[in-house]
Amino acid sequence: MIEIKNLKKSFGEVQVLKDINLTIDIGKIYGLVGRSGAGKSTLLRCINGLESYDEGTIIVDGIEVKSLNNQAAREFKKEIGMIFQQFSLLNRMTVYENIALPMKCWKYSKIQIDKKVKELVELVGIPDKLYSKPSELSGGQKQRVAIARALSMDPKILLCDEATSALDPQTAKAIISLINKINNELGITIVIVTHQMSVLRSSCENISILENGRIEESGFVEDIFLKQPQSLRNLIGDKDIILPQSGINLHILLSKEISDQPVITQMARELQTDFMILGGEMENYRNSVLGSVIINISHENLPVITKYLNENNVIWKFMNSSEIIRDNVQGGGYNV
Ligand SMILES: Nc1ncnc2c1ncn2[C@@H]1O[C@H](COP(=O)(O)OP(=O)(O)OP(=O)(O)O)[C@@H](O)[C@H]1O
């Protein structure tokens, strides 16, 4: 377990982490998201002892990171693997040598190293690239090498700092699948720092949203995407939908319990009413599917439609063209 309490960190006069509190359970995938400069990478670097902190505590598996002396800190870092956006491979070395490097530093035997490197290239899906140089690999393949190297010391924790940001969407998806597989098969606790909402949805169980060095929101990923707090809206930005100026625009959010049901057409049939469907999507999360639909209704239908949605536990919010997704100012539709 990683337990962070009242963590504060400044660079000179500038406080970049302001009273951070969060708990990451063993074996989970936890997402940290926020705008550039919010403090995500600094937080990650504090967790693995690469960066010191001024106040508060970080306890990893019962050990306070700050309390470690040099030798203990070295042993501790061995337990935590890390991967980065730019892969950080050594270009003059082969894939084999890159993966073997940490084991060589720890003076593992040649037989141990050989066995482990060959297991790892199988796990990450590049057994045919053992003797290639990084310059001969695609971005996705380079990240696979970096993942194999990060796993070479059998870490308990894997920290991923924007690991998919430099990759095209398909390759990023494949790397996320690999990270999920590592979590499932090896039980490693994973902390993912990302700007990509798709990464949060498809991997993480819990997430925290950082804004200007503070955690503005923490919780289950599905709950946060359904609730859409301001801090999330600040990240997602406005959806590019042209909304009618007449009538009322509603954003309807379908939780995992109802996302596989024909809620919208059922409502139209039961209420014998018409409305325009302006947009909709289903999104895959790690353990569920959530849906969302935007409809335009007439003023006179507002009471009956919102009553129906509330009675059926459907979350809804008002939308208008200037402020794309707005909280339900009348109350009742904000069920999360
Ligand atoms: N070594 C350093 N010395 C001084 N300031 C630093 C240092 N590292 C980070 N900072 C500052 O701390 C703040 C947080 O940086 P950090 O890299 O943690 O943000 P981030 O959320 O990871 O951003 P990004 O998404 O762009 O990587 C920034 O204002 C940055 O300029």
Q: What pLDDT digit, counting tens, does each position of 27-71 carry?
A: 999 999 999 999 999 999 999 888 999 999 999 988 898 888 888
What's the confidence (pLDDT) of residue 239? 62
Top pLDDT among 186 and 333 is at 186
Distance of alpha carbon 177 from alpha carbon 101, whole angstroms: 25
**Ligand 1 pocket at CB < 6 A:** 11, 16, 34, 36-42
Is the domain covering 2-233 a CATH 3.40.50.300 domain? Answer: yes
Mean pLDDT, the chain, rounded, equals: 89
- How far, in Å, is the centroid of ligand 1 from the Cα of 38? 7
For residue 41, how far is its CA from the centre of ligand 1 (angstroms)?
7
Predicted TM-score (pTM) of this structure:
0.86
- Going by alpha carbons, the residue nearest to atom 3 of ligand 1 is 11
Residue 255: its pLDDT value, please?
87
pLDDT tens by residue, 202-220: 999 999 999 999 999 999 9
Could you give the CA distance from residue 138 to residue 171 in angstroms, rounded to a whole number?
10
Distance 179 CA to ligand 1 centre (A): 25
Residue in 88, 125, 84, 118 with CA at minimum distance from that of residue 103: 118
**pLDDT score for 178:** 95
User: Ligand 1: distance of its center to the CA of 203 in Å?
Assistant: 24
| Per-residue model confidence as pLDDT tens digits over 150-167 | 999 999 999 999 999 889
Task: Write down the pLDDT at residue 334.
Answer: 32
Which pLDDT band holds residue 281 (cuts at 50, 70, 90)? confident
* Cα 219 to Cα 9, 58, 116, 122, distances in angstroms: 23, 19, 37, 35
Residue 166 has a pLDDT of 87
Q: Which atom of ligand 1 is nearest to the CA of 210?
A: 21
Using alpha carbons, list the distances in angstroms from residue 131 to 93, 118, 134, 148, 247: 9, 11, 10, 14, 64
User: 228: left (phi > 0), else alpha (psi -120 to 50), else beta?
Assistant: left
59 alpha carbon – ligand 1 mean position (Å): 22
Confidence tier at 335 by pLDDT (50, 70, 90) = very low
223, burial (CB in 10 Å: exposed 0-12, middle 13-18, buried 19+): middle
Closest CA to 156 of 76, 88, 89: 76
CATH of domain 245-319: 3.30.70.260
Q: Whose CA is nearest to atom 29 of ligand 1?
A: 37
The answer to whether 273 and 334 are in contact (CB under 8 A) is no
Pocket residue to mutate for ligand 1, from 7, 42, 214, most atoms within 8 A of Cβ: 42
Interval between CA 115 and ligand 1 midpoint (Å)? 38
Q: Does pLDDT of 135 surpass 90? A: yes
CA angle 57, 63, 65 (to 5 degrees): 50
What are the sequence ranges of the domains in the chain? Answer: 2-233, 245-319
